[in-house]
Structure 1
């Protein structure tokens, strides 16, 4: 039991806080898209991924989302953008995953234009 407590305390002590800020402009068919949900996530591998923050794109499709997490190594952040670009069926959404460059951890990752009409490797369609 003492060994388990010691291991837990050591894990907390060795974990370091990493931050990330991601900003961009959502675009579909060359038009900015307001009112979209953008989630900043952190991949955990064994356990459920952590949701670091959620924002909504402004009237011009702009977003800026920041979060932090404490991990033994560096964080592995990514974004989910929920949108209706390329959706033909009423009431359906696409959840598109965008990786965040590890070189931008503890800094700002400017995605510039997030082009939603370009199919990404990881997308889910929800109806």
Structure 2
């Protein structure tokens, strides 16, 4: 009985999956200067045990502006978020550069998720100054060569 029920759920879920899209635009600053060449990644957030899914990634331009969009086929309304990885106001110790990046995640309202592969209405994040510590900020050290040799993130 249970295997049959699971098979039915899987079949219905695969048929009901539809393409959904989201797009985000904004500008990043570091104090009074544009935050250039900064990674902005669009994610679809999932509940455990399914991992989050990266939809797209871009770098900010010479003015700190970015425009990122992505789409995915999913059964339920996607929960998109933008993750920004930067080094604004992130000095190291003893005069050495900090190899870790600051990582900030911003969830995008579901009202900006649209059916189909085209973005109908872009979510405007506005101009954001990344100099001050953000409430949901953490340190991202995956690119740290010393930590990778030690097998740590």
Normalized against structure 1, the TM-score is what? 0.89
Structure 2 distance, partners of 1:49, 1:88, is 29
Deviation at 1:6, TM superposition (A): 3.5
Structure number with the higher strand fraction is 1
CA contact (8 A) 1:19 1:67 kept: yes
List per-residue Cα deviations over 1:13-61 (Å, max 9, x = no partner).
1122221000111111021111001110011102100000011111211
1:123 aligns with 2:131: no
Give the structure 2 partner of residue 110 of structure 1: 124
Using the TM superposition, give the Cα deviation of residue 119 of structure 1 relative to its aligned residue in structure 2, in angstroms.
Answer: 2.4
Deviation for aligned residue 1:8: 1.8
Q: Is the 8 A contact 1:97 1:120 kept in 2?
A: no
Give secondary structure in 2 for the equivalent of 1:119: coil
TM-score, length basis structure 2: 0.75
Instruction: Give me the whole-angstrom Cα distance separating, in 1, the residues matched to 2:113 and 2:66.
Output: 18
Contact 1:42 1:52 in 2 (8 A): yes
- The number of equivalent residue pairs is 127
1:20 corresponds in structure 2 to: 22
**3-state secondary structure, aligned to 2:37:** coil
CA distance in structure 2 between the aligned counterparts of 1:30 and 1:103, rounded to whole angstroms: 32
Whether the 8 Å contact between 2:35 and 2:88 is mirrored in structure 1 is no
Give the corresponding residue for 1:95.
103
Alignment correspondent of 1:9: 11
- 2:77 counterpart of 1:63: no
Q: Which 5+ residue runs of structure 2 have no aligned equivalent?
A: 115-120, 142-153
Query: Over aligned residues, Cα RMSD in angstroms?
Result: 1.7
Matched residue, 2:44: 42
Contact residue 17 and residue 71 of structure 1 kept, 8 A: yes
- Runs of at least 5 residues in structure 1 that lack an aligned partner in the other structure: none
Q: Deviations over 1:98-119 (max 9, x none)?
A: 1212222223101111221232
